Amino acid sequence: MIAVLNVDWQTLADALALGGIYALMAVGIGLVFGVLRLVNFAYGQLIMAGAYALAFASQWGLPRGVGILFCFGVVLVLSIAMDWLVFRPLRTQSPAVMLVATFAIAFLLQSIALLAFGPLGKIASSLAPLNRPVTISGVDIRKIAIVSIVVAALCLVLLQLLLTRTAVGLQMRAASMDFGTARLLGVRANRVIGGAVLVSGLLAAVVAVMLTVQTPLVTPDFALRDTIVVLAGVVLGGLNRPVPATLGGFSIGFASGLLGGALPTNQSQYLPTFLFAAVIVVLLVRPNGLFTRGASAERV
Amino acid sequence: MRRLVPAAQLAAPLVLVAVAALVGTLVSTSSEGYFVDALVKVTIVVGLYVFIGNSGVLSFGHISFVAVGAWLAGVLSVPVREKPAIMPNLAGFLRDRTVGNIPSLLLAAAVGAAFALVVGLALMRLSGLAAGIATFAVLEITHNMLRFYEKIGPGLNTFSSVPETTGLWQAAIGAFVAIGAAFAYQRSRYGRLLRATREDPAAASAVGVSVYRQRLGAFVLSGALAGLAGGLYVHLLPMNTESVYLDLTFITLAMLVVGGSASLWGAVVGALAVSALDSFLANAENGVSLPGGTLDLPAGTRLVVVGALMALVLVARPSGITGGREFPTRWLRR
């Protein structure tokens, strides 16, 4: 398979790393969707904000650890503000209204970044050494690819533990099955939603750190493309449950990494077309996603 | 007097558009462009309204109908002599023909409708979130194809040498046509059936309305209007794939939401109000003198203000500034 596609080890590692990063974004989007029925278009802008935090930290010459902390702080504050100012007042509206609202927030944040930091972008260089290759049994692989795979796996394991071994995790899963019934049984809505938003923000910050190592130039549309692709992946996998959403995110990241690296440019430029055509087909044939079972979604 | 109610509801948006066009003739030539642009936006937003407003289903995909309309009208309007220089890889049937202004607009509307039909046949079974994501996927596919498939257009390059025939009058007539079509549709049997499905899909299908067919009909009509708007757009300014992508999707949806997506009056008011604000801010970014001093905003303020306005309206008044109602006619009913 690898020989057929003419893929080298670096491409494979990069594809795995991209799959891991996209899987984390998919979890971030899927968790919030689970409890709020809200597809967060503005998720990429959280990552963008984190990336700018890292860029400023390296411009001010802060130590690496402090810069990463700063990034986490900015992303968490922003996601909690988003929850309070937008998601909370709109909780009773239809999913379509909330989708348009997050679309508006995404544009608002992006244009604020454009206004405040300019279109040219800033360089986040403090973690640049991670971009150098290491040699493992004669094969060169960039360190960041390994770090991304490990961090993504670690985050997913921790998340699985949170969801299955803690009270708030159990409540989150219950809420994403049936929010109404969960509340009747004593689940506190604000606690669960707050928890989901917080975890989703943490994941956005992790993704911001890893993406800035891969692409140190931070522009206002940083992570915008990635978010659109991940959204497609999440829908492909199945929005309703964390595990299918994660699988969907991973597969689309892995596939686009692999195909983007293996195909010649005149074919890989049409990758989005195939990706989104697949999304449409899945929505028509299996509206609940590829990796799920159970009743079908709303149809006419 | 009661008989005048529908007439007033049609006349109000038409008058508003006519006033905008008339004011446009009075201002300087440099500001005239803002008015023409606003009138084309009215056509797009009314096209959006025909589907989103009447069906209550979200679509992020309408700008792809604007894009295909613009592409066909643009490619066919460039003089045959200049095509090889601008679009060297063009397919034969597009390369050897040039059409005039009006036929290019009609063709733009037709290709918008045809594309909407193809897309709608598959997608109109979806609603809610799935419809939002699927129409977004259509936008992505269209953008990707137009960007790289050079047999049907300039690809990454900007359209040049398209005759700039869209002035105030052409744009105003386009907006009139769109408003007239939208009004005729919403007063027709089909428009009423579709609005019944918006209010209660279960009850509507229980009395024998095919939700799928009614949505498809509105989708095709709104695709035609969007295609027409695309034709008008390409005759207005040199455009490329980025001019018919996320920014335009965002600003037109903002116009519809701010105005009130459930009424034609809301669509027109929203389009003109947001356009006015947008052009004022665009001017202010270059410095504008007001009574009491000069206002000079940093570049990029426009999108921040429009984005904040859209978010604010969604949170505070989800049915828009008109409340999603037609032009108030209570004074006629007395």
Residue of B113 and A252 predicted with greater confidence: B113
Contact status of B201 with chain A (Cβ, < 8 Å)? yes
Integer CA distances (angstroms), A58 to A49, A125, A289, in order:
14, 6, 41
Integer CA distances (angstroms), B96 to A80, B83, B103, B111, B165, in order:
58, 9, 16, 19, 21
Cα dihedral B145→B150→B151→B154 (10° resolution): 110
What range does the domain containing A182 cover?
8-221
**CA nearest to B124 within chain A:** A300
B257 within domain boundaries: no
Residues 109-148 of A with CB under 8 A from B: 110-112, 114-115
For residue B109, the tally of other CB atoms under 10 A from its CB is 28
Percentage of residues of chain A with pLDDT beyond 70: 95
Distance CA A215, CA A224 (A): 13
> Is the pLDDT confidence value at B235 over 90?
yes
pLDDT level of residue A132 (50, 70, 90 thresholds): confident
A242 within domain boundaries: no
Residue of B160 and B57 predicted with greater confidence: B57
Distance CA A61, CA B191 (A): 62
Q: Which positions in chain B touch A227 (Cβ < 8 Å)?
A: none
Contact status of A267 with chain B (Cβ, < 8 Å)? no
Distance CA B68, CA B223 (A): 10
pLDDT level of residue A169 (50, 70, 90 thresholds): confident
pLDDT digits (tens, 9 = 90+) for A201-234: 999 999 999 999 888 899 998 999 899 899 888 8
Q: Which two tokens stand for residue A191?
A: 């606690």
A34 within domain boundaries: yes
Using CB atoms, pick whichever of A39, A105, A275 lies closest to residue B129: A39
Q: Which positions in chain A touch B284 (Cβ < 8 Å)?
A: none
> Is the pLDDT confidence value at A296 over 70?
no
- Look at A95 and B128 and tell me if their CB atoms are within 8 Å: yes
Q: What is the pTM of this model?
A: 0.90
Distance CA A81, CA B108 (A): 44
Distance CA B278, CA A33 (A): 33
Percentage of residues of chain A with pLDDT beyond 90: 28
Q: Which positions in chain B touch A30 (Cβ < 8 Å)?
A: none
A132 within domain boundaries: yes
Domain count, chain A: 1
Using CB atoms, pick whichever of A94, A105, A272 lies closest to residue B140: A272
Helix ranges restricted to H, chain A = 2-5, 9-36, 43-59, 64-82, 95-117, 143-165, 167-177, 179-184, 189-214, 224-237, 242-262, 265-268, 271-285
B3-23 mean pLDDT: 91
CB B143 within 8 A of CB B155: no
Residue of A234 and A131 predicted with greater confidence: A234
Q: Which positions in chain B touch A110 (Cβ < 8 Å)?
A: 303
Highest-confidence range of A151-165, B61-75, B86-100, by mean pLDDT? B61-75
> Which among A202, A64, A96 is positioned nearest to B253, based on CA atoms?
A96
- Look at B299 and A115 and tell me if their CB atoms are within 8 Å: yes
**CA nearest to B122 within chain A:** A284
Q: What is the largest CA-CA distance in chain A?
A: 60
Contact status of A283 with chain B (Cβ, < 8 Å)? yes
Element at B153 (helix H, strand E): none
Q: Is the dihedral of CA A126, A20, A235, B155 positive or negative?
A: positive
Q: Min CA distance, B35 vs chain A (Å)?
A: 24
- Look at B304 and A111 and tell me if their CB atoms are within 8 Å: yes
**CA nearest to B57 within chain A:** A96
Integer CA distances (angstroms), A65 to A71, A214, A218, A239, B153, in order:
10, 18, 19, 34, 50
Task: Return the pLDDT at B294.
Answer: 73
Q: Which positions in chain B touch A89 (Cβ < 8 Å)?
A: 315
**CA nearest to A101 within chain B:** B311
A168-178 mean pLDDT: 83
> Is the pLDDT confidence value at A263 over 90?
no
A146: left (phi over 0), alpha (psi -120 to 50) or beta: alpha
Task: Return the pLDDT at A295.
Answer: 46
Residue of A191 and A109 predicted with greater confidence: A109
Q: Which positions in chain A touch B126 (Cβ < 8 Å)?
A: 283-284, 287, 299-300
pLDDT digits (tens, 9 = 90+) for A2-51: 445 566 787 888 889 899 999 999 989 988 888 887 888 899 999 999 99
> Is the pLDDT confidence value at B204 over 70?
yes
Task: Return the pLDDT at A293.
Answer: 60
Contact status of A81 with chain B (Cβ, < 8 Å)? no
State the residue for tokens 């609603």.
Answer: B127
Task: Return the pLDDT at B334.
Answer: 59
- Look at B144 and A107 and tell me if their CB atoms are within 8 Å: no
Using CB atoms, pick whichever of A108, A231, A272 lies closest to residue B307: A108
A189-197 mean pLDDT: 87
pLDDT digits (tens, 9 = 90+) for B69-98: 999 999 999 998 888 888 888 888 888 889
A296 within domain boundaries: no
Integer CA distances (angstroms), B76 to A16, B102, B109, B122, in order:
45, 12, 14, 29
**CA nearest to A235 within chain B:** B133
Residue of A185 and A130 predicted with greater confidence: A185
What range does the domain containing B141 cover?
4-241
Domain count, chain B: 1
* 3-class SS of residue B87: coil
* 3-class SS of residue A190: helix
A38 within domain boundaries: yes
Using CB atoms, pick whichever of A111, A114, A299 lies closest to residue B125: A299
B222 within domain boundaries: yes
> Is the pLDDT confidence value at B186 over 70?
yes
